Amino acid sequence: MMPKNDDKAAIDVITELEKEFGDYDALIHAWGALRPEHPALIDDNVTLNWQQVDALTSRIAAALQRDGLRKGQAVAILGTTTNNYALIYIAAIRAGGCAAPLTTSAAPNQLRAMMADSGAMHLFIDSAKLMDLEGEEIAPSHIIMLNEAQVEYPSMLDWMAEDSERHQPPNVDPDDPQNIIYSSGTTGTPKGIVHSRLMRWRQTAIGEKSGYGENSVTLLSTPLYSNTTLACFNPSIGYGGTTIIMPKFDVKTYLELAQKYRATHTMLVPVQYKRIMEYEAFDDYDLSSFRLKYCTSAPFAADLKADIVKRWPGELIEIYSMTEGGVVCLLRCNQYPNKLHTVGQPHIGSEVITIDEELNRLPTGSVGELVGRSPTIMSGYQNQPEKTSEAHWIDEEGNRWQRMGDIGRVDDEGFVELIGRSKDMIISGGFNIYPKDLEEILLTLPAVDEAGVIGVPSDHWGETPVGFISTIGNTAADLDSIITDVNAQLGKTQRLSQLYQIEEMPRSHIGKLLKTKLRAIYNGMEK
């Protein structure tokens, strides 16, 4: 498959995708020449074909290079996911830089920390987020609007290079960073998870095995700052398919888009699947075009998996992994209906085992902390080598494994069953919330003596954070005022849904807060 009228695009895209490490920049250009009129990106307002995507991302990349973007330097993006957002993401990589999509639900102080940590000199932002940050000091020297221009800042279309200009193809190495994904649940120094170009290339190039291709149509309803979304976005782009972007998820619109565009692939988190399957008109839609439906990011109930397998055409695959990488497990739900209580088996090239509290390897079938390794492990945490080391387990032969943060077991067939989360992380709507962050804010309030936060089941979000406090002398606290103060300091996905006052925090004999007891207290209060 060769371009006919463009020598610069003279690469065989299939041969390129079969390489251990290929040329992402040349691949985008080749698709622009091979299928100029084929739709590449579709959002609420606009359809962009591959010729437009190639030309626009090249002009944006040229402007980044004009501004002095260094090899591997971050380009920050903040706003609702749209075509323009996707163009910046692609262009940052084509220019030789590193895409740094920032979570829109983060509080202003979190965003300042993320931008400073990334080292970005460019921030692409939409008007809604700019309004949210009004009065805040924003570090990057170049601020460009994703949508309409503001008085102080140009729009992306005004800022980008002229139509006749093209960027210089970058000279990049496999270990160079392609993106930084920031954990959404930090309130202090954020953890920026760095993914190399080689890691992302492997995730992109393997897409053919998942049915991606020139006639694939990928429907995405989770934001591009989420690693969940990128798992489908990268192969969809890499194989020259069509990617439909939903700026905001709602069930009716999702089903209408899936039917209208004959969607073949999608990625959803469990709470979205739950809402779709409960939608009363679900069975009225023609979803027969689907080949693969993915799910990841949160616990996925076995009965929900079974319902999807029964009623929704195409294969359902649950992915168990982390943004940090490590093991990648796949559960092919249609093939293994008796294993729906698990998260599947390690994918090709992945390994997973359990270790005990002393970090010793455990026999197969033993319950312990899960550790995994694969070709898709992160490079490390941005500017935090100590946290990077803490996240790894080194085996007897010196091999590096990622600590998954979960307790589980691996059966004789290699299927992984999750028992619990070792770090008490809360997953709400597919996003991670770290209880310690919320507890630390509670403890800054004068009325609060001790604090504990747990995740409880939520029909709407999967899980939601609930707080407990005790006060000095057990004086009565104004809980409504406290929860208002705390939530004002948190991102939207982190906010406490409820707050209770108890006489004393349950602790072990060594002073460890017993969150199992807090859950029992909560269950008793809710009866």
What does the pLDDT read at residue 184? 53
pLDDT > 60? residue 3: no
Q: Binning pLDDT at 50, 70 and 90, where does residue 256 land?
A: very high
pLDDT > 70? residue 186: no
* Other beta carbons less than 10 A from residue 161's beta carbon: 17
What does the pLDDT read at residue 187? 41
Q: What is the mean pLDDT of residues 189-204?
A: 90
Give the helix/strand (H/E) hosting 258. Answer: helix 251-261
State the DSSP string of 466-502: EEEEE-GGGPPP-HHHHHHHHHHTS-GGG--SEEEE-
Rounded CA Rg of the chain: 23
Amino acid sitting at position 238: G
What does the pLDDT read at residue 495? 92
pLDDT > 80? residue 190: no
Q: Binning pLDDT at 50, 70 and 90, where does residue 95 land?
A: very high
What does the pLDDT read at residue 514? 83
CB of 141 closer than 8 Å to CB of 121: yes
What does the pLDDT read at residue 105? 81
Q: Which residues are registered as beta bridge partners of 418? A: 408
Q: Residues of the chain with pLDDT > 70: what percent?
A: 94
Q: What is the mean pLDDT of residues 279-308?
A: 95
CB of 408 closer than 8 Å to CB of 370: yes
Indicate the range of 50-64, 80-94, 219-233, 424-438 predicted with least confidence.
424-438
Q: Is 149 helix (H, G, I), strand (E, B) or coil?
A: coil
* Higher pLDDT, residue 507 or 230: 230
Alpha-carbon span 294 to 315, nearest angstrom? 9
State the DSSP string of 407-470: EEEE-TT--EEEEEETT--EEETTEEE-HHHHHHHHTTSTT-SEEEEEEEEETTTEEEEEEEEE
From residue 124, give the alpha-carbon distance in Å to each of 85, 134, 137, 146: 8, 15, 15, 6
Going by C-beta distance under 8 Å and a sequence separation of 6 or more, which residues neighbour residue 248? 80
Q: Binning pLDDT at 50, 70 and 90, where does residue 2 land?
A: very low
CB of 50 closer than 8 Å to CB of 156: no
CB of 95 closer than 8 Å to CB of 61: yes
pLDDT > 80? residue 508: no
What does the pLDDT read at residue 28? 97
Going by C-beta distance under 8 Å and a sequence separation of 6 or more, which residues neighbour residue 121? 67, 68, 69, 73, 140, 141, 142
CB of 319 closer than 8 Å to CB of 295: yes
pLDDT > 50? residue 6: no
Q: What is the mean pLDDT of residues 209-218?
A: 91
**Longest CA span, the chain:** 80
What does the pLDDT read at residue 12? 87
What does the pLDDT read at residue 185? 45
Indicate the range of 181-190, 328-337, 434-443 predicted with least confidence.
181-190
pLDDT (tens digit, 9 = 90+) per residue, 145-155? 999 988 899 99
**Exposure of 226 by Cβ count < 10 A (0-12 exposed, 13-18 middle, 19+ buried)?**
buried
- Length of the chain equals 527
Q: Residues of the chain with pLDDT > 90: what percent?
A: 68
pLDDT > 60? residue 451: yes
Q: Is 334 helix (H, G, I), strand (E, B) or coil?
A: coil
User: Which residue do the tokens 């004002």 mark?
Assistant: 488
Q: What is the mean pLDDT of residues 450-473?
A: 91
pLDDT (tens digit, 9 = 90+) per residue, 396-420? 999 999 999 888 999 999 999 988 6
What does the pLDDT read at residue 189? 57
Beginning with the edge strand found earlier in the chain, give each strand of the sheet holding 462-470 in spatial order.
Answer: 450-458, 462-470, 498-501
pLDDT (tens digit, 9 = 90+) per residue, 327-382? 999 999 999 999 999 999 999 899 999 999 889 999 999 999 999 999 888 999 99
Amino acid sitting at position 368: G
What does the pLDDT read at residue 419? 80
What does the pLDDT read at residue 298? 79
pLDDT > 60? residue 4: no
What does the pLDDT read at residue 10? 55
**Exposure of 66 by Cβ count < 10 A (0-12 exposed, 13-18 middle, 19+ buried)?**
middle
pLDDT > 70? residue 509: no
From residue 526, give the alpha-carbon distance in Å to each of 463, 470, 498: 15, 19, 11
Phi-psi region of 359 (alpha: psi -120 to 50; beta: other; left: phi over 0): left
pLDDT > 70? residue 511: no
